Structure 1
Amino acid sequence: MGQYRIVVSGRVQGVGFRYFTLSKALEFDIKGWVRNREDGTVEASASGTESQLSDFIASLRRGTRFSLVENLEITPEEDRGEYAGFRIK
């Protein structure tokens, strides 16, 4: 199991990116959360197996047809087993 903090930059607010992230988290059985940040980026904390996280991150990189993902900042976090599901903050 692993856990990452992911900050997505580009045109990712006002285009349904958080709901897209939620749907991908459910698809790949990722636990954690996602939220908009004041600087226009979207931040997520994601926990799962390395395979699940790899697929999840790849889907975030592609984004939706309405978004334009310019960069993903991915930082490992300590997995404390604190997430029961995935939610939008």
Structure 2
Amino acid sequence: MMHAHIIANGRVQGVGFRYSAQQYAKEYNLNGWVQNKSDGSVELEVEGSDSQVHSFMTDLESGFSPFIRIEDMQIDTQQEEKGYKTFSIR
């Protein structure tokens, strides 16, 4: 199992990013959360199987939708889970 903490920069607020992240997380059976940050970036935590987390991050890098543009992502992964039960928008 894997846990990833991600901060995404670019055109990520006001473009359906959090909703898209939630939909993709459900598709990959991942738990965690997503929230907008005051500096214009978006912060996420996701956890689940290694392959599902990697697939989610690949989709995230491509922007989920044509309206979202990822310019930079900071990713911190670890093997220890926090035990989230759902994926929520904060």
> Is residue 2:82 matched to residue 1:80?
yes
Aligned residue for 2:15, secondary structure, equals: coil
Counterpart residue number, 2:71: 70
* Distance in structure 2 (CA, Å) of the matches to 1:12 and 1:20: 11
Which 5+ residue runs of structure 1 have no aligned equivalent? none
* Distance in structure 1 (CA, Å) of the matches to 2:2 and 2:87: 15
Counterpart residue number, 2:21: 21
1:1-89 matches, within 5 Å, as 1-63=1-63, 64-77=65-78, 78-81=80-83, 83-89=84-90
Aligned residue for 1:53, secondary structure, equals: helix
Where in structure 1 do 4 or more consecutive aligned residues deviate above 2 Å? Answer: none
* Distance in structure 2 (CA, Å) of the matches to 1:58 and 1:33: 17
* Distance in structure 2 (CA, Å) of the matches to 1:55 and 1:45: 14
Deviation of 1:76 after TM superposition, in Å, equals 2.0
The one-letter amino acid paired with 1:80 is K
Deviation of 1:71 after TM superposition, in Å, equals 1.1
* Distance in structure 1 (CA, Å) of the matches to 2:73 and 2:51: 18
TM-score normalized by structure 2? 0.93
TM-score normalized by structure 1? 0.94
